[in-house]
Amino acid sequence: MGFGEGGRMDVHRAEEAYHLRSTGEAWESIAGALGYQTGYLVKTQVQRHAEERGWEWPIPPEREGRFSGYTTRHEAAYKFRVRGLKWQGVGAKIGLFSPYAHAIAIRHARRYASTSDLPWPPEIDVSKLPLPENGELAYDLRMQGLSWSEVGRKTSLGTHAPRRAERYAQVTGKPWPVPALTMAEIAYQIKHDNPDMAWRFVAKRAGYRYGDHATTGARRVAFARTRRWMRTFLADYGDATSLAAAAWEAVGLHAGDLTEVPPQVLLIAKELIPG
């Protein structure tokens, strides 16, 4: 139960077991809660995932006691949920192992929220959650303008891609939904990274129908970025008397590496070159 190819525990179960152990639960109890035969089996599988994904190992128990430091089962149910456990795991943590453990845990937590004037549903503290596998890649691909189906294929996450990307955004504090690039920005980035690529191929990759449209969009992005770059520079070098003068100062500042200066700024700076 819960094993993937080659008899390995899948990453979702591994994360759940990891969270349970981080709250001080014994490995044997975790095995019972998640439907495995022995605690040793669960421990070895979780350790393997932890070492591959950079999770802290060994897992330091955070609390001790009957409800890991909490006063009542109701409080424990609510706060374990806040710490990222799934409801089935919350039930196991507070000593519930029936098929309805998750429903009972929810009822306990809801009662605690009601009597303590706390938000419902509980707001999960995502800072305690490990980064989801391929979450960053899914997020970055979506930001480049790919559809979720394309992201799912490229990351092998399938329909789980949006959830993994959202989880990554929550843990890292990045904006959600993903601020996807426009077609023009994608065209600009493709041409920037592949200067020898023909515009008709840039257009195809960026979603344009014609190469001329991709060229126009990318040029507009380049112009807008140049203006933003110059505004920032002028804010730092306010004594420049003109845009051309500011561009000249920019070229002088970055003389050792002109790749830091947008090409349009170099053209503006040439206005001040004698002759």
- Give per-residue pLDDT as tens, 256-267: 555 555 565 566
Position 250, amino acid: A
Residues 46 and 102 both lie in one domain: yes
- The pLDDT of 202-208, averaged and rounded, is 84
Residues 96 and 16 both lie in one domain: yes
Q: Is the pTM of this model over 0.85?
A: no
pLDDT of residue 67: 58
User: Could you tell me the CA-to-CA distances from 142 to 13, 152, 161, 210 in Å, in that order?
Assistant: 26, 10, 9, 23
Q: At residue 245, does pLDDT exceed 70?
A: no
Among residues 114, 88, 122, the alpha carbon closest in space to that of 12 is found at 88
pLDDT, tens digit (0-9, with 9 covering 90-100), for 151-193 = 888 888 888 888 888 888 877 878 888 776 778 888 888 887 7
- The pLDDT of 21-25, averaged and rounded, is 70
pLDDT, tens digit (0-9, with 9 covering 90-100), for 5-22 = 446 788 877 877 887 777
Dist. CA 186–CA 195, nearest whole Å: 14
Do the domain assignments include residue 177? Answer: no
Q: At residue 250, does pLDDT exceed 60?
A: no
Residues 161 and 201 both lie in one domain: no
pLDDT of residue 188: 83
Do the domain assignments include residue 97? Answer: yes
Residues 164 and 112 both lie in one domain: no
pLDDT of residue 249: 59
Position 5, amino acid: E
Beta-strand runs (E) in 92-218: none
State the chain's mean pLDDT as an integer: 75
Q: How many domains does the chain have?
A: 3
pLDDT of residue 269: 58
Residues 113 and 164 both lie in one domain: no
Give the up-direction half-sphere exposure of residue 57: CA atoms within 13 A in the CB hemisphere: 15
Residues 121 and 206 both lie in one domain: no
Q: At residue 66, does pLDDT exceed 70?
A: no
Do the domain assignments include residue 141? Answer: yes
In this structure, the number of other CB atoms found within 10 A of the CB of residue 151 comes to: 25
Residue 60: which domain range? Answer: 5-126
pLDDT of residue 221: 78
pLDDT of residue 63: 41
Q: At residue 103, does pLDDT exceed 50?
A: yes
Structure tokens, 91: 């039930």
Residues 32 and 116 both lie in one domain: yes
Are 224 and 264 spatial neighbours (Cβ–Cβ below 8 Å)? no
Residues 102 and 193 both lie in one domain: no
Helices 211-236 and 243-253 meet at what angle, rounded to 10? 90
Residues 18 and 120 both lie in one domain: yes
Do the domain assignments include residue 178? Answer: no
pLDDT of residue 228: 64
pLDDT, tens digit (0-9, with 9 covering 90-100), for 117-150 = 999 988 877 666 667 778 888 888 887 767 788 8
Non-local CB neighbours of 46 within 8 Å, separated by 6+ positions: 9, 14, 17, 18, 21
Q: At residue 75, does pLDDT exceed 60?
A: yes
